[in-house]
Amino acid sequence: MLTRYLRLVVLLSLCITQQVFAQKFEELGKTPQMGWNSWNKFACNINEKLIKETADAMQTLGMQAVGYEYINIDDCWHGERDSQGNIRPNAERFPSGMKALADYVHAKGLKLGLYSDVGATTCGGHPGSRGHEYQDAITYAAWGIDYLKYDWCDSKDLSPVAAYTTMRDAIKKAGRPMLFSMCEWGDNKPWDWAKDIAHSWRTTADIYPCWDCELSHGSYSTIGVMRILDKQVSLRKFAGPGHWNDMDMLEVGNGLTPDEERAHFSLWAMLASPLISGNDLRSMSEEVRSILTNKEVIAINQDKLGIQAWKMFAEGNVEIWMKPLANNEWAMLILNRGAQSLTYDYDWLKHHVSDDLSKREIDFHQSSFSWTELWTKTSGDTRQNFKAKLSPHSVALLKLKPR
């Protein structure tokens, strides 16, 4: 009897241990993560000087002050594995090593992120983590890494659930809190299964800095802002604090028009997507900086309720998106998808707002709200129609407060 009892105790202990490790770090990602990533602008042209200068710019140009915190190094940082299988950074690009770089970033009150892949090789052909998941997680923890973007290249014969769960468990066992960002491109509907695995998951193919296009690269395509937006319509119920639909990194500052950039940033904020800038912070214009640091728009993204916006109304090239906010407030976005300017006259009384997900509604016959347009800073209230001239590919973004 004693032997049987001891066996049960051992089995129970193993089960408890596995359950402890089989968790992501729940304290992270309560609002969508904010930061910067090297890929959109620099691809493989990265080194430690760029990363340090970007951390400097994030601090001195006011981005850190409004909530950006992660400096994320994407693909191509890798060197080779040593004789024990430990991954090492490219010694020419990162001569001081990742631990020293993490220390530099941490000294500024920022956090450092890295990139890896479920396969044996990354998208850029560098060493991936397949077969080295626990070893790599221990290495990242020793370096002081705070964020892992985990890609889906060279994933042949892999189960996405198993592959991403393995790395989640490896991060947890390594013991250092890391935000886990899945980059699986939505191929296997991660919103159905990744809530307990990752803090965010990509929902589409990679972004391209255009308004509404698809660029073929042979075996894959990259897509523009509107193509990504259209793929989010049915996904809002899967998002919330600690588990976000990721619409990919921002292209603000990478060739869109100013109106397109404001629209792009506003839509990512409304849909509670991570706000990860992808431009060269060191040389961005004041106009780009002012978009990326608009505190009121960022507050829409970072609202503590964590409810993703939904498309309430569409007519021609005009769409209206609504997002419930804390304190009985709302955000409303009016989008002009088209290539022509238009004047829009919105009669509040003709639109009853009802959200099945949050169980919130507005009857403008019974309630009135004051509003502020978050880009122009104009204001008014819902007792009179809202009228705006919308340029091509632009938005009006209103925050509504009960009167």
Asked if pLDDT for residue 302 goes beyond 60, the answer is yes
- pLDDT at position 12 is 36
Rounded-to-integer distance, Cα 50 and Cα 38, Å: 9
Q: Is residue 364 part of a domain?
A: yes
Q: Is residue 11 part of a domain?
A: no
Q: DSSP string of 237-268?
A: GG-BTTBEEE-----TTTT--HHHHHHHHHHH
Q: Is the same domain home to 154 and 294? A: yes
Q: Is residue 245 part of a domain?
A: yes
Q: Is the same domain home to 171 and 252? A: yes
- pLDDT at position 181 is 98
Asked if pLDDT for residue 45 goes beyond 70, the answer is yes
Q: Is residue 223 part of a domain?
A: yes
The DSSP secondary-structure symbol of 279 reads S
- Residue 287's identity, in one-letter code, is E
Q: Is the same domain home to 297 and 315? A: no
Q: Is residue 16 part of a domain?
A: no
Q: Is the same domain home to 252 and 326? A: no
- pLDDT at position 21 is 45
- pLDDT at position 219 is 87
Q: Give me the CATH number covering residue 320.
A: 2.60.40.1180
Asked if pLDDT for residue 16 goes beyond 80, the answer is no
Examine the fold and report which residue of 276, 301, 326 is the final residue of a domain before the chain moves on: 301
- pLDDT at position 5 is 39
Low-confidence winner among 10-24, 178-192, 257-271 (lowest mean pLDDT) = 10-24
pLDDT per position as a tens digit, 328-375:
999 999 999 999 999 999 999 999 999 999 999 999 999 999 999 999
pLDDT band, residue 8 (cuts 50/70/90): very low
To the nearest 5 percent, what fractions of the chain are helix, strand and coil?
Answer: 30, 25, 45
The DSSP secondary-structure symbol of 127 reads B
Q: Is the same domain home to 93 and 222? A: yes
Number of other CB atoms surrounding residue 344 within 10 Å: 16
Rounded-to-integer distance, Cα 340 and Cα 317, Å: 9
Rounded-to-integer distance, Cα 176 and Cα 72, Å: 17
- pLDDT at position 13 is 40
Non-local (6+) Cβ contacts of 390 within 8 A are 318, 334, 336, 341, 342, 343, 344, 396
Rounded-to-integer distance, Cα 357 and Cα 324, Å: 10
Based on the structure, what is the number of domains in the chain? 2
Q: Is the same domain home to 383 and 252? A: no
pLDDT band, residue 52 (cuts 50/70/90): very high
Q: Is the same domain home to 92 and 199? A: yes
Q: Is residue 14 part of a domain?
A: no
Q: Is the same domain home to 226 and 295? A: yes
Q: DSSP string of 299-317?
A: HHHT-TT-PPPEEEEEETT
- pLDDT at position 10 is 35
Q: Hey, which residues are catalytic here? A: 151, 206
Rounded-to-integer distance, Cα 216 and Cα 20, Å: 43
Low-confidence winner among 1-10, 89-98, 106-115 (lowest mean pLDDT) = 1-10
Q: Is the same domain home to 246 and 360? A: no
Q: Which residue has the tokens 């802002």?
A: 225
Identify the domain containing residue 95 by its residue range: 24-301
- pLDDT at position 7 is 41
Nearest C-alpha neighbor of 325 from the set 334, 333, 313: 333
Nearest C-alpha neighbor of 195 from the set 165, 157, 171, 152: 165
Examine the fold and report which residue of 301, 336, 363 is the final residue of a domain before the chain moves on: 301
Rounded-to-integer distance, Cα 325 and Cα 303, Å: 6
Q: Is residue 17 part of a domain?
A: no
Structure tokens belonging to residue 278: 């992808």
**Residue 103, Cβ density class (10 Å: 0-12 exposed, 13-18 middle, ≥19 buried):** middle
Q: Is the same domain home to 89 and 177? A: yes
Asked if pLDDT for residue 14 goes beyond 50, the answer is no
Q: Is residue 331 part of a domain?
A: yes
Mean pLDDT rounded to a whole number for the chain: 94
Percent of the chain surpassing pLDDT 70: 95
- pLDDT at position 22 is 60
Nearest C-alpha neighbor of 220 from the set 198, 205, 232: 205
Q: Is the same domain home to 257 and 235? A: yes
